[in-house]
Amino acid sequence: MSGVNEIRSTFLNFFAENDHEIVSSSPLVPRNDPTLMFTNAGMVQFKNVFTGVEKRPYQRATTSQKCVRAGGKHNDLDNVGYTARHLTFFEMLGNFSFGDYFKERAIELAWTLITRDFGLKKDKLLVTVYHTDDDAAALWKKIAGFSDDRIIRIPTSDNFWAMGDTGPCGPCSEIFIDRGEHIWGGPPGSPEEDGDRFLEFWNLVFMQFEQVTKEDRQPLPRPSIDTGMGLERMACIMQGVDSVFETDLFRNLIDATASALGSGPQEQTVASFRVIADHLRSSAFLVADGVLPSNEGRGYVLRRIMRRAMRHAQLLGAKEPLMHRLVWALVREMGQAYPELVRAERLIEETLRLEESRFRKTLARGLAILDEKSASLKKGDMFDGDVAFTLYDTYGFPLDLTQDALKSRGIGVDQASFSDAMERQREKARASWAGSGEAASEAIWFPLRERLGATEFLGYETESAEGVVAALVKDGKEVDSLKAGEQGAIVLNQTPFYGESGGQVGDTGVLLGEGGVKFRVTDTQKKVG
Ligand code: SER
């Protein structure tokens, strides 16, 4: 009972037996939260259920949720491959109560599952609670029989969970396992807490509040439960390994990479194998959920992830595109739990193959420039930001790829001069817009585009979604409002409406806003992105 697939099903079945509905993972692009880059926790799909805006036919649910933490508030991209635990894609197992049970039952259920079904030893376990949460501390004492020194009170945001700047939130209690003295580290709250000895694997959030704005925090109508257990961490514990990359699922992906390359990981190359395995997962799942590599927004995060993996493939001596040849192995490992992966297998392969073929055209040349321009640098030096910009602009190297390439030598990148170079490029683009002779009424779009960025298109995957109104335009001018009966254009931060292009007409439909506001969409145009 310790393979990743078995741990997942044991978890879900345990909660199903305790009257929870097994709900499918929601997509990585949140449908109900236009401000969040990617789904980064199990509770995201339930956000509106916690706040009472949305009703579901059940009050208890359990999920294994696909999560990506890259770009946005929770960003793990830079660390992946170099630490034992960071991943850009991971699965979060969770149980949820929407105004049904609260702290006591949540702690009881968690305790039964980990000590009975997962068989963890009680004397290896300890928990944290938010420093003022006396209830949770007393309940742990009662249910688990912990002495006070095993219930650690933490006064920081580590024990107050928030999804983002706004949304449901509350104090939380984290469960840790002591993996033994042979690993360096101290218990949470101690100066050595960053070590790997004490591993947090389950976070029980007692959702009590909604952060409405930065200053305004309101109690939720019905206190609720949101828990998140990192599946990969649990697999480490159950399989007695130190790193997520040594669990069965990752070992199989790394083996598949090794056989595609004809050589396995060595001490010098193991980080590259790990980066590839992790990034294969995030790339494949993002494509399956409708994200395609691009130069903006989510698509750009995907491109950065893909290209980071592709550079590591090159480092490992891949003579031709590699990533698409690993997709079958991922589908074998995870296709049963996530049928969308099976459905999108060809699209994922094709997307990876195209991106890697394209990038390989400039990759070798870019790496040669990087080597040449950094040859005389030593640890602690800064790499020229102008060159980093050329690598970005001409050779398709995302900035973090250049940073990643120099990281092992302890060299940073001069980001200020990188930004300057970027700004000079924008100036040039502005000047050429000004001279492009567009009608005066069209001039409005350029500054809007600069201020707001491009609108993200979600329509490959869905025909309805939430979005934020980024600007209103009427008669070639930006306005603050449009009144009933008026006509105008609405710019959104993201949209499932297809904009007229390539001979296809723009979509029509309707936008619904708070308080019953309705806007009929008679056409969709794609101006400067
Ligand atoms: N939302 C909490 C977390 O992400 C628990 O699921 O840790």
205 C-alpha to ligand 1 centroid (Å): 7
At residue 439, the pLDDT reads 60
CB 321 within 8 A of CB 352: yes
Q: What are phi and psi of 394, to 5 degrees?
A: -100, -30
Asked whether residue 442 carries a pLDDT value surpassing 60, the answer given is yes
Q: Whose CA is nearest to atom 4 of ligand 1?
A: 41
Between CA 370 and CA 197 the distance in angstroms is 38
Asked whether residue 122 carries a pLDDT value surpassing 80, the answer given is yes
152 C-alpha to ligand 1 centroid (Å): 19
At residue 221, the pLDDT reads 85
At residue 198, the pLDDT reads 94
225 C-alpha to ligand 1 centroid (Å): 10
66 C-alpha to ligand 1 centroid (Å): 13
Asked whether residue 305 carries a pLDDT value surpassing 90, the answer given is yes
Q: Whose CA is nearest to atom 2 of ligand 1?
A: 228
Counting from 1 in the atom list of ligand 1, the atom nearest the Cα of 92 is 6
What is the percent of the chain with per-residue pLDDT over 90, rounded to a whole number? 69
Asked whether residue 303 carries a pLDDT value surpassing 90, the answer given is yes
Q: Whose CA is nearest to atom 6 of ligand 1?
A: 228
Give the tens place of pLDDT for each residue, 325-353: 999 999 999 999 999 999 999 999 999 99
Between CA 273 and CA 446 the distance in angstroms is 43
Asked whether residue 192 carries a pLDDT value surpassing 90, the answer given is yes
pLDDT band at 436, cuts 50/70/90?
low
Asked whether residue 170 carries a pLDDT value surpassing 70, the answer given is yes
Counting from 1 in the atom list of ligand 1, the atom nearest the Cα of 40 is 4
Ligand 1: residue of 26, 92, 163 to mutate (most ligand atoms within 8 A of CB) is 92
Counting from 1 in the atom list of ligand 1, the atom nearest the Cα of 163 is 1
Please give all residues whose beta carbon lies within 6 A of any atom in ligand 1, as ranges.
41-43, 94, 161, 203, 205, 226-228
pLDDT band at 458, cuts 50/70/90?
confident
Asked whether residue 1 carries a pLDDT value surpassing 60, the answer given is no
H-assigned helices in 219-269 = 231-239, 248-261
Maximum distance among all Cα pairs of the chain, rounded to whole angstroms:
76
Asked whether residue 73 carries a pLDDT value surpassing 80, the answer given is no
378 C-alpha to ligand 1 centroid (Å): 41
Give the tens place of pLDDT for each residue, 18-32: 999 999 999 999 988
- Give the three-state DSSP class for 42: helix
Ligand 1: residue of 15, 33, 43 to mutate (most ligand atoms within 8 A of CB) is 43
